[in-house]
Amino acid sequence: MMSPWYQALFPTRLVSSRAAIQELITTRSGFRMGTSVNGVLTGLVGHVVRQEGWDLVSFPAIAEADEEHSVDTLFGRKRFIRHTGDVLHPERESLSTLEQIRANLGTYNFAGQYQQTPAPAGGGMVKEAWFQRYEPHALPVSFDQIIQSWDTANTPTELADYSVCTTWDVKGSHFYLLNVLRKKLAYPDLERAVHEQNRLFNPSVILIEDKASGTQLIQDLIETGLSKVRHYKPDGDKIMRLHAQTAAIENGFVHLPRDAHWLADYLHELTVFPNGRHDDQVDSTSQALAWTKQRPPGWGIFEYYRQEAEKAKRLIPPVMVRFKAPPGVSRVYTMSGHQHMV
């Protein structure tokens, strides 16, 4: 590694330590932030960023979050904005070209060469090879339950973070990931998204972490009559939570579809954690896997009767009622106590 060489020799070769401006520019021919050993980014760039308080300027080929950059030019200070999914230089490499390169290089190599997020070969805490793969026609005929696990943005109005819902079929000790919804949602849209995912998959239980926006979301969903919502209070930090589930993944109890439009992003986030930019899909996954181990005794019989009640409710023909809400009213409460969005 060049880090010891740099630390011992380079600073002493500067003409004036006060006047000198140090710039370290790397190229796409190597990992711009170095390689990763035992989950720790190493190499010269990784060294100076961690040790010396440098400002890191990183431009991923495909923006993974909204970015804003201010640059001094001959014509004054200019402000540049990139939105999630924007390509850095579309005239040179279009999005379709980059996606083809990702497919050819693999997620790990593409992350290091193009996205500025190198990770340990084979993954960090979780290795890609640990996941089992399934074809839709090979799924079990019946399942014990369907779980939806939500990781919501930090605050009801936070637009910079993603909200994620993972939907799992559970058969015995095996988990089959059916779908991943990952979007930036303002609060009213977040509540609607929960109802939409519920309608699409009819889960047995909807897990929502009881924190920040999740706390308000839980209250509002229960008020609308969505009885399958469950408060979830995790133990430990994010790393500890995923670490507690690595045995289940490594031993082949977690199954992913062989092909899905969300699969590459999902695998990348789980295999680079905790060194990646995002961890919302990680949190949603560890929450779903952990919950099945924490269910109270007798939960099964209660769930059976709940499902029977849901079936009976669907047999009752709906009654359509038309009403007019005053201007500016977005919610209406009926005499039964249910809340309705208008």
pLDDT in tens, the chain (342 residues): 445 545 554 555 444 445 555 555 555 544 344 443 333 444 556 555 555 566 777 788 999 888 888 888 888 898 889 998 899 999 999 999 998 888 777 666 777 778 877 665 555 789 999 999 999 998 988 889 999 999 998 654 444 578 999 999 999 999 999 999 999 988 889 999 999 999 999 999 999 988 877 888 998 998 888 989 998 888 888 989 998 899 999 999 999 999 999 999 999 999 988 878 889 999 999 999 999 887 655 555 665 666 566 667 656 676 677 767 778 777 777 665 566 666
Alpha carbons 149 and 232: distance in angstroms, whole number: 10
**165 and 17 belong to one structural domain:** no
**Considering the domain boundaries, does residue 324 fall inside one?**
no
How far is residue 243's CA from residue 256's CA, in Å, rounded to a whole number?
19
Contact (Cβ atoms closer than 8 angstroms) between residue 284 and residue 150: yes
Which letter does DSSP use for residue 204 in this model? S
Q: Are residues 311 and 199 in the same domain?
A: yes
- ∠218-294-239 over CA atoms, to 5°? 80
Report the C-alpha gap between 50 and 124 in whole angstroms: 19
Q: Domain range for residue 274?
A: 128-315
Q: Within a domain: residue 342?
A: no
Residue 220 included in any domain: yes
Q: How far apart are CA 151 and CA 194, in angstroms?
A: 11
Place of tokens 């309705």: 340
330 assigned to some structural domain: no
> Nearest-CA neighbor of 177 among 263, 294, 111, 250?
263
Query: Alpha carbon of 183 to those of 45, 54, 144, 231, 306: distances in Å?
Result: 32, 32, 28, 21, 30
Q: Are 169 and 160 in contact (CB under 8 A)?
A: no
Report yes or no on 336 lying in a domain: no
* Residues 137, 107 share a domain: no
Q: What span, in angstroms and rounded, lies between the C-alpha atoms of 11 and 20?
A: 10
Q: What is the pTM of this model?
A: 0.61
User: For residue 223, which amino acid is it?
Assistant: E
Residue 328 lies in a domain: no
Residue 81 included in any domain: yes
- Say how many domains are in the chain: 2
Question: Does 334 map to a domain?
Answer: no
Q: Which residues, 6+ apart, have CB-to-CB distance to 325 below 8 Å?
A: 332, 342
